Structure 1
């Protein structure tokens, strides 16, 4: 009953959002961002730590600005998901979406080989899959199921509306293999924390753990990797979709032909887009949860030496 009540409440809110002009929604998002960032201070400590980890010299004013803008873009993303099915269609998408590097992106999107499309918690990443599906290029996304089955079904219905099919995070290996063998498009959020046993690299100047499988798809599966982004532009429900880099197995430099190097490469590419507009990155996201085992051991050894 609790899950159903939550779902009905969310549906009620979405219904209200859908009858509001998107410009009014944007103003509401400004208010909600101010409320959550300044008055409630939700996850303020995590956000502050993440920002200072990347910008150690950031002033309080800068931190407050990035925090408020992040919440604004996050709330706006929710409103845009509610509006997109009614406002963005195959006949008018050009009014809402500007595709940078469209020649290079199209080349790989329609390639006979499978494609690994990597993005991060930045801008409105949900709209990238929506738009490519709208253009007749369906994709498959690995995503964790929400605890609320009703909300999970609702979000997946949005994603699958134009052909963005969802693969459950647990037990998806056989399905992923079929996608790659059929030359499909696999979209992955590359900034997910992979635990202490992941591939440790440098992300925005801090150690971060990544899933090794992402690089292995390219290195062993003949699947080009395209690092892309979808960010807000000057108006609500207007986006820029672009590509910061492509790692093609047929043209790959020798320096990128191992898991760690390729993982570092795509994180650098994601970081390029994020640092260009850091206010659209999800600083609330727990990207840097733990430290590498070797760093933890070294710290422990130092403490033991000091105590001796």
Structure 2
């Protein structure tokens, strides 16, 4: 792959900011992250406009233009906070990180895992999504995440090392053995975390309804649940009184009808509906800057 110089300079900027993050108190860092994230609303017109258009189409007559713009400003603030919060994990070990986490979500996972079937946790690019796995691992649960490889190796190494420092294992989405490794996780009665809420036309998927529009959605989570017998939960992380709280749905158990394609669409729609409910409740937490409805069903020509 051709080297892009800006990636190197962005990485240098990241390393410099990490020095500041290590020196300043955690709450100060989070405040600054939100402040500068909010400022980026004015300096990143491409992503601002994508978010505005997505929200207008998603909420139509439900929200005013002012409400939509306020949500987008909140999205940028959240992304700024998310970046510094995650980088701040260097300040914590696996014991001390519990100071910024609540245990209720992990307790729900433990109850489901007591059935001995493993667990597929569907999350989203929502609030600080990386902290969802940390919130699971911190309370003595084994968790692996399926993640995209970042195509600048030093930055990828940085992200993976932060996960590993909190006991979170990574399975790369482009690994030729991704299915085998993922099934091994759930068959070992562990948590497999997946973030399948983006339009990725290079992976197998189906079209389901999302905010009233067809959205191409990865079928992998449901396929793995069908193969393993593991239940699915939809879980997102939210900020609550200076801590992170993991919110989880009731478990979804796959009941096979004999029509594989129909089952995949049915259960993909089911978890998508739950995710939409969370996003409607906290619209400023989701990454509206992504072109979620880019891929559309092909219209048969006459």
TM-score when scaled to structure 2?
0.87
Give 1:61 deviation, angstroms.
Answer: 1.1
Q: Which moved more, 1:200-209 or 1:255-264?
A: 255-264
Note the C-alpha offset of 1:258.
Answer: 1.0
How is 1:59-74 mapped onto 2 (pairs within 5 angstroms)?
Answer: 59-74=64-79
Partner of 1:208: 215
Determine whether 1:174 maps to 2:180: yes
Answer with 82-91 or 174-183: which moved more: 82-91
Matched residue, 2:267 = 262
Picking from 285, 288, 295, the partner of 1:290 is 295
Distance 1:43 1:92, change over 3 A: closer
Indicate if the aligned counterparts of 2:198 and 2:290 stay in contact, CA closer than 8 A.
no
Q: Give the Cα separation in 2 of the matches to 1:89 and 1:159.
A: 11
How far, CA to CA, are the matches of 2:18 and 2:84 in structure 1?
Answer: 8
Partner in structure 1 of residue 32 of structure 2: 28
Contact 2:137 2:167 in 1 (8 A): yes
Q: Per-residue displacement from partner, 1:133-154 (whole Å, max 9, x unpaired)?
A: 1222121111111111000000
Task: Output the CA distance in 2 between the equivalents of 1:147 and 1:203.
Answer: 29
| Displacement of 1:60 | 2.2
Contact 2:106 2:139 in 1 (8 A): no
User: Displacement of 1:110 after TM fit?
Assistant: 4.7
Q: Secondary structure at the match of 1:292?
A: coil
Q: 1:40-119 residue pairs with structure 2 within 5 A?
A: 40-57=44-61, 58-87=63-92, 89-90=94-95, 93=98, 95-100=99-104, 103-119=107-123
How far the C-alpha of 1:89 sits from its partner, in A, is 4.4
Tell me if 1:232 matches 2:236.
no
Cα distance between partner residues in 1 of 2:221 and 2:201: 15
Distance, in Å, in 1 between the alignment partners of 2:231 and 2:282 is 26
Q: Is the 8 A contact 1:219 1:258 kept in 2?
A: no
Structure 2, unaligned stretches of length 5 or more? none
Match of 1:135 among 136, 139, 149: 139
- How far residue 288 of structure 1 moved from its aligned partner, in angstroms, is 1.4
Q: Distance in 2 between matches of 1:75 and 1:248?
A: 36
Alpha-carbon distance in structure 2 between the residues aligned to 1:167 and 1:287:
23
For residues 208-266 of structure 1, the C-alpha deviation after alignment (integer angstroms, 9 at most, x for no partner) is 1112221121223111111111112243xx211111231134xx597998111100000
Report deviation, 1:4: 4.7
Which 10-residue stretch deviates more, 8-17 or 113-122?
Answer: 8-17
The verdict on how the C-alpha distance between 1:271 and 1:88 changes in structure 2, with shifts beyond 3 A counting, is farther
Task: Give TM-score scaled by structure 1 length.
Answer: 0.85
SS of equivalent residue, structure 1 residue 284: coil
Cα 1:109–1:16 change in 2 (3 A) is farther
CA contact (8 A) 1:117 1:186 kept: yes
Answering whether residue 168 of structure 2 is matched by residue 164 of structure 1, we say: yes
Could you say if the C-alpha distance between residues 224 and 88 of structure 1 is closer, same or farther in structure 2, counting changes exceeding 3 Å? same
CA distance in 2, matches of 1:92, 1:192: 29
Gaps of 5+ in 1: 302-308
Q: 1:99·1:242 contact (CA, 8 Å) conserved in 2?
A: no
